[in-house]
């Protein structure tokens, strides 16, 4: 049964307060009925409409506007809202206001438009099986805000703008999709278009579990295309705390396209981090984000970094295309463990730093099958290694100062890499006084470089260098006298 709000006294002239007329229509409508807003009208709302029974709320691009209040608060299961334009026609920001606030099960929000600087466009709190589909969102602080939700689908929406822009000098606020609370599980974010977002296209604050982010486009994003993190705070903090059981884990990030992410100085396409704010504790991979697959994404231009990992565990980065990144394409910061970086295609032209770079706190890192090149000038390192238990296998690196720099740590294993046109060396080991220990350099082929190998430290006793080939290099194995003869085996030179 359909109830037309105009039949209950709604004027829809943009001036009259239609709140009571809409409430009257809703109250008389039976459970499971339809509340209808005729098209091309402006219904003014001065206080929230409480939706406390199953129903469909629909219009034909009908306009509902509010100066100061939420519009719908949905406290019932099985509620659908379709075909309505929501607008907050004021420049005042109300921190606690949202257009649509929903709890319960089987909430559907489809084919609507939302515009305004409220806190949230659609706020899901404790929902199960909510669907946000084919909507346009503009200028909310958080356009879709999820807190403690389960089985949520956010698909084929358009997001743009935010509340405050980076250039305004205020704290930047404006996320397309935000996940927060102690848990958000079984979330699908697919096929959305994020454009001109003031902060992050997708911000996973904490508590995400079994989240799929696929086939989205993120273009001209101010800070981060995708920000996945686990944040811990002291219990007395106003924002509360999260326990280690609620850390973000089991994410699949695949088939997304990132264009010009990070118009601010520290921007990146994807960031996976652990933020620790509890007194006496520091960042630790055991408490960080865990079990993430980042595959087959396309990254074209950021302001600084490509895919950033910090203090995380069990991350796979494979089959991605990365280009036009002025800093590191894949930096590993803090304690990172069990990281696999494989079969990525990285064009580092214009970069002012190393491309793939684990730091001294990293261990159990595998870098394999990647193609890394630059076309502008031979500077910096393609792969810069610090840390322990690092495997670098079957990569192709072209046109750097150093193809692979095995700088510091222990048990670096370089095998089967092909390195081309390196102006300093194909492979460089150690620094002026230190060298990696218990490391093996095996079956690598270095082409047309100033040096094939450059053993920088006089301490090379723990290195094994075997079955490598220098092809048309000006110098072949520079400072190889530092390597024990019994461990410098069957290395070849092809003039």
Mind listing the pLDDT tens digit for each residue in 46-60?
899 999 999 999 999
441 pLDDT higher than 90: yes
- Residue of 291, 321, 322, 289 lying closest to 305 (CA atoms): 322
Tell me which of 7-21, 68-82, 87-101 is least confident: 87-101
- pLDDT surpasses 70 at 235: no
Q: Tell me the β-bridge partners of 140.
A: none
Q: How far is Cα 199 from Cα 161, in angstroms, rounded to an integer? A: 9
3-state secondary structure of 168: helix
**Residues whose CB is less than 8 angstroms from the CB of residue 486 and which lie 6 or more positions away in sequence, other chains included:** none
The domain 381-495 having CATH identifier 2.160.20: the answer here is yes
Greater confidence, 485 or 23?
23
- Give me 425's structure tokens: 């060396």
Residue 96 has pLDDT above 70, yes or no: no
Q: Which residue has the higher pLDDT, 263 or 286?
A: 286
Grade residue 172 by pLDDT with cuts at 50, 70 and 90.
low
Number of C-beta neighbours around residue 92 at 10 A: 9
The residue to which tokens 């515009």 are assigned: 115
User: What local confidence, expressed as pLDDT, does residue 436 receive?
Assistant: 84
- The model's pLDDT over 332-348, given as tens digits with 9 standing for 90+, comes to 999 999 999 999 999 99
Is residue 284 very low, low, confident or very high in pLDDT (cuts 50, 70, 90)?
confident
Low-confidence winner among 13-17, 91-95, 212-216, 488-492 (lowest mean pLDDT): 91-95
What pLDDT does residue 186 have?
Answer: 96
Comparing C-alpha atoms, which of 214, 207, 212 is closest to residue 180? 207
Q: In the predicted model, is pLDDT for residue 184 greater than 70?
A: yes
C-alpha R_g of the chain: 28
* pLDDT at residue 165 greater than cutoff 70: no
- The band of 237, judged by pLDDT with boundaries at 50, 70 and 90, is low
Which of 115-124, 145-154, 187-196 is predicted with the least confidence, judged by mean pLDDT?
Answer: 115-124
User: Of all residues in the chain, what percent carry a pLDDT higher than 70?
Assistant: 92
pLDDT at 95 over 80: no
pLDDT confidence band for 36 (50 / 70 / 90): very high
The confidence score (pLDDT) of residue 66 equals: 83
CA distances to 133, 292, 443 from 35, in Å: 20, 43, 72
**Reduced to 3 states, what is the DSSP secondary structure of residue 359?**
coil
Ranked by mean pLDDT, which of 72-76, 167-171, 286-290, 486-490 comes out on top?
Answer: 72-76
The mean per-residue pLDDT over the stretch 304-327 comes to 96
Lowest average pLDDT, out of 131-140, 256-265, 363-372, goes to 256-265
In the structure encoding, which two tokens stand for residue 475, read together? 């110098």
- The pLDDT, as a whole number, for residue 164 is 64
Domain ranges (residues) in the chain: 381-495
Res. 440: pLDDT tops 80: yes
Query: Is pLDDT above 60 for 458?
Result: no
Task: Quote the CA–CA distance of 381 and 356 in Å, as a whole number.
Answer: 9
- What pLDDT, on the 0 to 100 scale, is given for residue 432? 60
CA–CA distance, 359 with 352 (Å, rounded to integer): 17
DSSP, collapsed to helix, strand or coil, labels residue 481 as helix
What is the token pair recorded at 385? Answer: 């290694």
Distance in angstroms (rounded) separating the CA atoms of residues 6 and 19: 12
- 44 exposed, middle or buried (CB, 10 Å; 0-12, 13-18, 19+)? buried
Residue 269 is predicted with a pLDDT of 97
The share of the chain scoring above pLDDT 90, in percent, equals 69
Question: Is the pLDDT confidence value at 242 over 90?
Answer: no
Q: Output the average pLDDT for the chain.
A: 90
Alpha-carbon torsion, ordered 352, 355, 359, 364, to 10 deg: 180
- The model's pLDDT over 243-260, given as tens digits with 9 standing for 90+, comes to 666 788 999 999 999 999
Mean pLDDT of 138-151: 93
pTM for this prediction: 0.94
How far separated are the first and last CA of the chain, in Å rounded?
A: 87
Check pLDDT > 60 for residue 44: yes
Question: What pLDDT is attached to residue 162?
Answer: 85
- Give the per-residue pLDDT at 246: 73
- Number of helical H runs and strand E runs in the chain: 1, 51
């Amino acid at each position: 049964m359909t109830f037309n709000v105009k039949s209950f006294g709604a004027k829809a002239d943009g001036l009259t307060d239609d709140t009571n007329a809409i409430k009257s229509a809703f109250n008389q409508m039976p459970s499971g009925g339809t509340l209808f807003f005729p098209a091309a009208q402006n219904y003014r709302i001065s206080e929230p409409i409480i939706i406390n029974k199953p129903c469909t709320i629909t219009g034909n691009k009908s306009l509902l506007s509010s100066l100061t209040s939420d519009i719908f608060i949905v406290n019932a299961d099985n509620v659908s809202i379709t075909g309505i334009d929501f607008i907050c026609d004021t420049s005042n920001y109300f921190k606690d206001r949202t257009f649509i606030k929903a709890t319960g099960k089987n909430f559907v929000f489809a084919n609507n438009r939302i515009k305004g600087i409220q806190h949230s466009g659609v706020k899901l709190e404790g929902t199960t099986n909510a669907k946000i589909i084919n909507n346009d969102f503009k200028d909310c602080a958080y356009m879709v805000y999820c807190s403690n939700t389960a089985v949520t689908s956010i698909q084929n929406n358009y997001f743009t703008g935010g509340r405050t822009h980076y250039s305004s000098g205020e704290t930047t606020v404006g996320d397309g999709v935000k996940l927060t609370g102690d848990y958000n599980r079984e979330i699908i974010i697919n096929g959305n278009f994020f454009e001109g977002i003031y902060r992050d296209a997708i911000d996973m604050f904490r508590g995400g579990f079994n989240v799929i982010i696929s086939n989205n486009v993120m273009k001209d994003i101010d800070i981060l295309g995708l920000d996945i993190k686990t944040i811990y705070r002291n219990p007395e903090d106003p924002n509360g705390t999260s326990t280690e059981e609620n850390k973000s884990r089991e994410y699949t990030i695949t088939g997304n396209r990132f264009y010009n992410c990070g118009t601010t100085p520290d921007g990146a396409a994807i960031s996976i981090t652990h933020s620790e704010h509890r007194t006496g504790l520091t960042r630790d991979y055991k408490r960080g984000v865990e079990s993430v697959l980042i595959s087959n994404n396309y990254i074209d231009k950021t302001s600084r970094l490509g895919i950033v990992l910090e203090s995380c565990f069990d991350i796979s980065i494979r089959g991605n295309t990365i280009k036009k990144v002025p800093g590191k394409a894949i930096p590993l910061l803090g304690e990172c463990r069990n990281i696999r970086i494989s079969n990525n295609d990285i064009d580092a032209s214009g970069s002012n730093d190393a491309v793939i770079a684990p730091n001294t706190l990293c261990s159990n890192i595998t870098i394999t099958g990647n193609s890394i090149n630059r076309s502008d000038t031979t500077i910096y390192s393609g792969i810069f290694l610090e840390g322990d238990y690092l495997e670098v296998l079957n990569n192709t690196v072209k046109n750097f100062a150093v193809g692979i720099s095995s700088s510091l740590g222990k048990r670096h294993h370089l095998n089967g890499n092909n390195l081309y046109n390196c102006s300093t060396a194909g492979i460089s080991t150690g620094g002026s006084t230190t060298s990696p220990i218990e490391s093996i350099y095996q079956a690598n082929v270095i082409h047309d470089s100033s040096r094939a190998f450059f053993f920088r430290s006089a301490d090379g006793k723990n290195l094994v260098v075997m079955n490598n080939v220098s092809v048309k290099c000006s110098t072949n194995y520079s400072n190889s006298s530092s390597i024990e003869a019994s461990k410098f085996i069957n290395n070849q030179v092809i003039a």
